[in-house]
Every structure is written in C-alpha cells, then in structure tokens.
Amino acid sequence: DEEEDYMSDLFLKQDVRPGLPMVRRVKEAIQKEEKQKEANEKNRQKSIKEEEKERRDLVLKSALGNENKGFALLQKMGYKSGQALGKSGEGIVEPIPLNIKTGRSGLGHEELKKRKAEEKLENYRQKLHMKKQANEQAADQFRVRFKNKQEERKMEGDLRKSQRACQQLDMQKDIDVPKETWYWLEPEEEDKKDEEDKEDECTSSDLSVSEKLHILTAYLRGEHFYCIWCGTTYEDSEDLSSNCPGDSAADHD
C-alpha cells in the first residue's frame, strides 16, 4: 500500500475528535465477536434431537402428495386439496397436530402437577380467608372493648354525679356522716389514717362501679325520692314511680 498523503482531501476529511478511535475499536470488537458466534453456531454439530426436530418440522410443513395412500383414497372419493372434510364441508381443513412428548416424566405427571398447583392455590385462598376472618374478629373485639370502656366511663360519671347529689341531699337533712363512706365524694386532701376508714375503703373497693351505682341509685330513690337521670326530686314514692321511667340509664334512653 502506498503511504497516505497527509495533505490529501481523504486524510484532511477524517474525523479526529477525541475518543473516537476507542469507540471504533469497541464497535469493531463487538462485530468481530458476533461474527465469531455466528461461525461457531454454523460449525457446531447438531444433536440427534435437534436433527429429528428439524426433519419432523420439515415433513409436517410439506403437504401430502399423491404418493400417500390415505391422500390418494381421499382424492378418489372427490376430495380436493385445501377442502374441509365432511359431506357438507363442515370438518377440519388442517390435519390434527402432533403432540410430541420430549420429557422423561411418566403418564399422568402433568395431571399430578396441575392437581398440586390447584391444591396449593386452594390452600393459599384458605389462608387469606382465615387471615381476613382473624382481622375481622380482632376489629370486632376492639369495637366491643371500646364500647365497654365508653360505658364504664359513663357509669363512673353517673356514680360521681350520684355521690355529689347524695352528699347535697344528705346535708340538707342534717346528715353529717354518709351511710357508706363511698356514698359521698371523698375530699382530695382528707388524711385517711383511721383503721375503720381503711376497712371501709377495702369493703367498698370490692364493689364494682356498676354495683355502687345500682346501690346508690336505690338509696337516692328510697331516701330522697331523687333520680339522677331525671335530675328531679319527687314528692314521694308514688310520685316517683308514676313519673320516673325507671332506675337505670337504659330506662331513660
């Protein structure tokens, strides 16, 4: 080869941007590698299965000729190539495709795999259903606990209201000491050092809020003819029984 003329148009028109030779070398290497892969693929000796598949596909793609005895019998009965089977032409046009088994699994293996997959899906659905039921049950329990807590708070408020009313009504009748210590609201700064007060405190603590409310309500109605939910002091027991709906908050709702 003749040396290039550094003053020629071919040399001056060359792209000499930085990094361009490296890009060209990379592209050339990639193209060379692809060509090598194609050559190796062509020269690679095909396996027996691949050769059988190619021959089978080639035979299946080619139409039947007159040398085929079955096709020759069809032609004698009036069949033409491309025509559907059947007296009125409602049958199939293409032959039934072959289903070649290539794996080593025995008969019924696919059905077993399908059944196992269905069982796995059913188990997954059951787990989702059980999880949903557990979440719903937890939500119901939370609502019940929340409702009970609200009712307990309401009863505590009614008890304090009853204790306050009991103290006022008892003092109006010049009763200086409550029938039970918990009938009145306890002073915040009261010093409890007396053993009897401690015993009364232990006795009263054995009662629940609802039990205390029921007992104190009966005392207010029987002693003072007073209903905390009506907020009214009646004249006598007859007036109370005839005008008051009942002795509980549910009766007044």
Task: Report if residue 228 sits inside a domain.
Answer: yes
Give the whole-angstrom CA distance, residue 227 versus residue 158: 11
Task: Report if residue 19 sits inside a domain.
Answer: no
Task: Report if residue 54 sits inside a domain.
Answer: no
Q: What pLDDT score was predicted for residue 116?
A: 93
DSSP state of 7: T
> How far does Cα 228 stand from its chain's mean position?
48
Task: Report if residue 85 sits inside a domain.
Answer: no
Domain count, the chain: 1
Instruction: Say if pTM beats, i.e. exceeds, 0.85.
Output: no
Domain of 178, in residue numbers: 147-186+207-251
Contact yes or no for 227/221 (Cβ under 8 A): yes
Q: What pLDDT score was predicted for residue 18?
A: 58
Full pLDDT tens readout for the chain, 253 residues = 455 555 556 555 555 555 556 667 778 888 888 888 888 777 777 777 778 888 888 877 777 777 788 888 888 887 777 778 777 777 888 777 777 776 777 777 888 889 999 999 999 999 999 999 999 999 999 899 888 889 889 989 999 999 999 999 989 988 888 988 899 988 764 444 454 554 555 445 578 888 898 999 899 888 888 988 888 888 888 888 888 887 777 767 6
Contact yes or no for 65/55 (Cβ under 8 A): no
Give the whole-angstrom CA distance, residue 84 versus residue 74: 12
Task: Report if residue 213 sits inside a domain.
Answer: yes
Give the whole-angstrom CA distance, residue 244 versus residue 231: 10
Contact yes or no for 58/51 (Cβ under 8 A): no
Q: What pLDDT score was predicted for residue 240?
A: 81
Task: Report if residue 192 sits inside a domain.
Answer: no
Give the whole-angstrom CA distance, residue 212 versus residue 159: 7
Task: Report if residue 87 sits inside a domain.
Answer: no
Q: What pLDDT score was predicted for residue 252?
A: 72
Task: Report if residue 179 sits inside a domain.
Answer: yes
Widest distance between CA atoms in the chain: 136
